[in-house]
Amino acid sequence: GAVVSQHPSWVICKSGTSVKIECRSLDFQATTMFWYRQFPKQSLMLMATSNEGSKATYEQGVEKDKFLINHASLTLSTLTVTSAHPEDSSFYICSARARQGFGNTIYFGEGSWLTVV
Amino acid sequence: GQQLNQSPQSMFIQEGEDVSMNCTSSSIFNTWLWYKQDPGEGPVLLIALYKAGELTSNGRLTAQFGITRKDSFLNISASIPSDVGIYFCAGTSGTYKYIFGTGTRLKVLA
């Protein structure tokens, strides 16, 4: 099946700094990638939809200036948490929709743990 | 954000037993997906369903796309300890923007 890779797997940063998480589709081109946030023992909540070459679409309640998304190529989307605060600590997961050949499904990365201290 | 209603929330079963869980939506979907998530990892796709009434198997797992297109079911037969984890359903009406279920936490007692 399709493979999506996320990096880093975990990161600790100081409050007030910014941190970038990468999401790559390894063996297919992804026209659309999605970023989710998951709190412990909860489901995945969609933050934004990232389309290659255009601005991301953010879900209601998600601050676009705080969570910057860049989908510069068909295989890479990045999420930058700016001026991070402890309440931003969470498990961030990306997923990618294949351009063709993989059906109407999305594939997830391994997730990235962010801890803001 | 919107979530699908998934039940049961959690279940403890004996090894060898069969497991059933379901997911319901207030709106019609054209694709249902079932995922398993282990602690600290991303969800892994188990089964994808594309047509109402479709019944698809993946080893001991069988999932069905409800004929009303508002629900889906996942069954695990002869459970084993490695089946432990959280199972999520996800559905979309065609926009690729998937809505996720609240999850079913499965624990298997050896």
Residue B64's pLDDT band (cuts 50, 70, 90): very high
| pLDDT above 60: residue B39 | yes
**Both structure tokens of B21:** 């869980």
The pLDDT value given to residue B3: 74
Tell me the shortest Cα–Cα distance from B63 to chain A, in angstroms: 15
Q: Please classify residue A70 by burial: count the beta carbons closer than 10 Å to its beta carbon, then call 0-12 exposed, 13-18 middle and 19+ buried.
A: middle
Tell me the shortest Cα–Cα distance from B18 to chain A, in angstroms: 24
Q: What is the end-to-end Cα distance of chain B in Å, rounded?
A: 37
The pLDDT value given to residue A104: 61
Residue B5's pLDDT band (cuts 50, 70, 90): very high
Strand-pair partners of B62? B57, B75
Tell me the shortest Cα–Cα distance from B84 to chain A, in angstroms: 14
| pLDDT above 70: residue A58 | yes
Residue pLDDT, tens place only, A10-53: 999 999 999 999 999 998 888 889 999 998 888 889 999 988 88
**Cα B89 from Cα B98, distance rounded (Å):** 10
What's the whole-number mean pLDDT along residues B73-87? Answer: 95
| pLDDT above 90: residue B42 | no
Which member of A44, A46, A105 has the closest CB to residue B45?
A105
| Window from A112-116, B36-40, B64-68 with minimum mean pLDDT | B36-40
Residue pLDDT, tens place only, A70-94: 988 889 999 999 999 999 999 999 9
Question: Is any Cβ of chain A less than 8 angstroms from the Cβ of B100?
Answer: yes
What is chain A's percent helix, strand, coil content, to nearest 5?
A: 5, 55, 45
Which residue does chain B place closest to A5, by CA atoms? Answer: B42
